[in-house]
């Protein structure tokens, strides 16, 4: 029970599909999430129901449609090229470079602004904003377990903390949102999600306020950052712990791509082992061990069980992904288990639940998966990754179960030895980056003009 609401934890893939997909009309709603609403001043669209949720989702679906996703590949490829260069120059800071990569892909889409250095304060601000929400809002506290406490919320320890975090978050999203306005006033009017929001509000949109528009944009930025960093970190740990996986992946990349160029987005169809590696990373250490809770809005049944209206439902992603009937020896990182099953992972017989299920399935899944593919395929092309060693030559342990706590987890920062595979490959990385700087970027390493069709993707021509 949570307060007076019965709670059902779903631990098997068949149950998750039957409840959340086949009966999705009655399992799409969210519970109140009082703690998170305290941290977000009462507006957090992905955890809301009704028009607030529907309006936000329509906007996300337009900019995250299958046709729009293809237009963002130049962003992802450019950021991955800086990721390779940064790691080549500062291999000990590979973890920070992953955070910059993922954050910059989201930032340029949402705000039309690249993050050019892992030391940029905005990277830390983004990571802290996400972690605050994950650590406090989703941790489960007395306000969510005993709803009657909402009447005396100002007496609870979370209240003062929540108000501080709400102000910190609002300052952060306003900084990004008004940065778009400021750059437009200075003559930099690159298409972006928040710029489109601002233009639509000027044209008379009334269903979404300016603060709500900024929060909807922030959801896009958050969604393109935390899950991507978590999964890439899992990949790096797996390459260290299971060197045969790295060898097989590099053999496939070398056979398909060769030595003279980096892998590209269109190579994905010809690199099935890389796709399998990424699916296995989602299974082996899921970024979200428990999916965000739902609550039934009507009668739901499974087998002999009948769940009344207002029953809480949560997918136990970790349990499903470690089900030995589906995945023999689940503790072993084994991309081969996905051979011939790549489409099944998220198809009709869905096996992976990292991005949820049913009508609340994460709309940013395809964008995240493309970022993951481009980043890890290029990383494997460029680098050999192995255990770091101490002064006596002993391997420094990596514990994939030592996770940063929260709703979205990741393996805690660890040491890895990252080396270029050859001087020739290092030369390709430097040459490609020079060419991109000369043709696409200005003196501040910002886009001179956006890639073709980006403006079309950001039109957001939807009725809300």
Is residue 2 in some structural domain? Answer: no
Question: What is the pLDDT confidence band of residue 41, given thresholds at 50, 70 and 90?
Answer: confident
Contact 162, 35 (CB under 8 A): yes
Angle between helices 94-111 and 157-185 in degrees, nearest 10: 60
Residue 461's pLDDT is: 59
312-315: strand order across its sheet? 7-10, 312-315, 294-295
Residue 428 falls within a domain, yes or no? yes
- Over range 349-373, report the average pLDDT: 94
How far apart, in whole angstroms, are the C-alpha atoms of residue 269 and residue 265? 9
Q: Quick one: pLDDT at residue 138?
A: 62
**How confident is the prediction for the chain on average, in pLDDT?**
91
Confirm whether 163 is domain-assigned: yes
User: 10 Å Cβ neighbour count for 333?
Assistant: 23
Is the distance from CB of 142 to CB of 131 less than 8 angstroms? no
Q: What is the CATH number of the domain that holds 139?
A: 1.10.630.10
Residue in the block written with tokens 């949820």: 356
Burial of residue 121 (number of CB atoms within 10 Å: 0-12, 13-18, 19+): exposed
Please indicate, yes or no, if residue 238 is contained in any of the structural domains.
Answer: yes
Say which residues have a Cβ less than 8 Å from residue 131's Cβ, sequence separation at least 6: 404, 406
How many Å apart are CA 281 and CA 301, to the nearest integer? 32
Give yes or no for residue 279 having a pLDDT over 70: yes
* pLDDT tens for each residue of 83-114: 999 999 999 999 999 999 999 999 999 999 99
Among 29-43, 210-224, 292-306, 368-382, which range has the highest average pLDDT?
A: 368-382
Q: 3-state SS string over the chain?
A: CECCECEEEECCHHHHHHHHHCCHHHCCECCCCHHHHHHCCCCCHHHCCHHHHHHHHHHHHHHCCHHHHHHCHHHHHHHHHHHHHHHHHCHHHHHHHHHHHHHHHHHHHHHCCCCCCCCCHHHHHHHHHHHHHHHHHCCCCHHHHCHHHHHHHHHCHHHHHHHHHHHHHHHHHHHHHHHHHHHHHCCCCCCCHHHHHHHHHHHCCCCCCHHHHHHHHHHHHHHCCHHHHHHHHHHHHHHHHCHHHHHHHHHHHHHHHCCCCCCCHHHHHHCHHHHHHHHHHHHHCCCCCECCCEECCCCEEECCEEECCCCEEEEEHHHHHCCCCCCCCCCCCCHHHHCCCCHHHCCCCCCCCCCCCHHHCCCCHHHHHHHHHHHHHHHHHHEEEEECECCCCCECCCCCCCEECCCCCEECCCCEEEEECCHHHHHHHHHHHHHHHHHCECCCCCECCCCCCHHHHCCCCCCC
Phi-psi region of 8 (alpha: psi -120 to 50; beta: other; left: phi over 0): beta
In whole angstroms, what is the distance from residue 283 CA to residue 349 CA?
15
- How many whole angstroms separate alpha carbon 15 and alpha carbon 310? 18
Is 235 annotated as a binding-site member? Answer: no
Give yes or no for residue 145 having a pLDDT over 80. no
User: Which has more pLDDT, 440 or 38?
Assistant: 440
456 CB-side CA count, 13 A: 10
Among 178-192, 227-241, 302-316, the range of highest mean pLDDT: 227-241
Average pLDDT over residues 404-416: 93
pLDDT > 70 in the chain, percent:
95
What per-residue confidence (pLDDT) applies to 347? 75
What's the half-sphere exposure (Cβ side, CA atoms, 13 Å) at 366? 15
Average pLDDT over residues 424-450: 95
pLDDT in tens, 224-252: 899 999 999 999 999 999 999 999 999 99
More confident call, 293 vs 453: 293
Under 8 Å between Cβ of 433 and 85 = yes
Q: Is residue 323 part of a domain?
A: yes
Say if 1 falls within a structural domain.
Answer: no
Domain count, the chain: 1
| Residue 462 pLDDT greater than 70, yes or no | no
Is 463 within a domain? Answer: no
Region of poorest pLDDT, from 85-89, 201-205, 345-349: 345-349
**Of 13-17, 162-166, 208-212, where does mean pLDDT reach its minimum?**
162-166
Examine the pLDDT at 302 and tell me if it is beyond 60.
Answer: yes
**Average pLDDT of the residues in 288-306:** 93
Q: Do 464 and 50 meet the contact criterion of CB atoms below 8 Å apart?
A: no
For residue 462, being part of any structural domain is answered with no
Contact by Cβ (8 Å): 188, 114:
no
**pLDDT over threshold 80, residue 147:** no
d(CA 322, CA 331): 8
Domain residue limits at 291:
7-457
Measured between alpha carbons, how far is residue 1 from residues 247, 312, 356 in Å? 48, 9, 22
Q: Which of 167, 240, 206, 244 is nearest to 386 (CA)?
A: 240
pLDDT of residue 25: 95
Higher pLDDT, 448 or 280: 280
């Amino acid at each position: 029970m949570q307060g007076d609401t019965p709670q059902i934890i779903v631990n098997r893939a068949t149950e998750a599909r039957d409840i959340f997909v086949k009966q999705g009309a009655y399992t799409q709603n969210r519970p109140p999430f009082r703690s998170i609403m305290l941290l977000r001043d009462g507006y957090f669209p992905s955890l809301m129901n009704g028009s607030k949720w529907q309006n936000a989702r329509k906007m996300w679906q337009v900019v995250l449609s299958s046709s729009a996703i293809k237009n963002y590949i130049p962003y992802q490829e450019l950021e991955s090229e800086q990721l390779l260069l940064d790691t080549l120059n500062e291999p000990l800071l590979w973890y920070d470079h992953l955070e910059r990569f993922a954050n910059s892909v989201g930032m340029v889409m949402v705000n039309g602004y690249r993050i050019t250095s892992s030391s940029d304060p905005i990277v830390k601000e983004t990571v802290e904003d996400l972690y605050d929400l994950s650590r406090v809002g989703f941790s489960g506290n007395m306000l969510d377990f005993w709803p009657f406490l909402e009447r005396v919320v100002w007496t609870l320890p979370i209240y003062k903390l929540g108000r501080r975090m709400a102000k910190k978050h609002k300052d952060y999203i306003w900084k990004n949102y008004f940065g778009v306005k400021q750059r437009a006033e200075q003559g930099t009017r690159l298409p972006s999600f928040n710029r489109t929001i601002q233009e639509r509000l000027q044209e008379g949109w009334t269903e979404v306020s300016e603060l709500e528009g900024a929060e909807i944009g922030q959801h896009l930025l958050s969604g393109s950052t935390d899950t991507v960093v978590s999964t890439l970190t899992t990949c790096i740990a797996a390459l260290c712990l299971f060197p045969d996986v790295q060898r097989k992946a590099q053999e496939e990349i070398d056979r398909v791509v060769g030595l003279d160029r980096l892998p590209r987005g269109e190579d994905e169809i010809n690199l099935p082992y890389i796709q399998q590696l990424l699916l296995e990373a989602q299974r082996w250490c899921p970024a979200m061990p428990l999916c965000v809770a739902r609550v039934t809005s009507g009668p739901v049944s499974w087998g002999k069980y009948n769940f009344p209206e207002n029953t809480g439902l949560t997918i136990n992603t970790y349990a499903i992904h470690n089900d030995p009937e589906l995945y023999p020896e689940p503790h072993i990182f084994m991309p081969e288990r996905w051979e011939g099953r790549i489409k099944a992972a998220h198809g009709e017989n869905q096996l992976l639940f990292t991005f949820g299920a049913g009508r609340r399935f994460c709309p940013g899944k395809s964008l995240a998966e493309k970022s993951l593919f481009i980043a890890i395929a290029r990383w494997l092309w460029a680098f050999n990754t192995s255990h770091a060693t101490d002064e006596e030559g002993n391997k420094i342990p990596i514990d994939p179960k030592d996770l940063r706590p929260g709703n979205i987890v990741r393996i805690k920062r660890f040491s890895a030895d990252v080396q270029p595979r050859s001087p020739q490959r290092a030369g390709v990385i430097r040459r490609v980056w020079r060419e991109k700087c000369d043709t696409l970027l200005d003196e501040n390493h910002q886009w001179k003009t956006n890639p073709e069709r980006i403006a079309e993707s950001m039109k957001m021509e939807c009725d809300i």
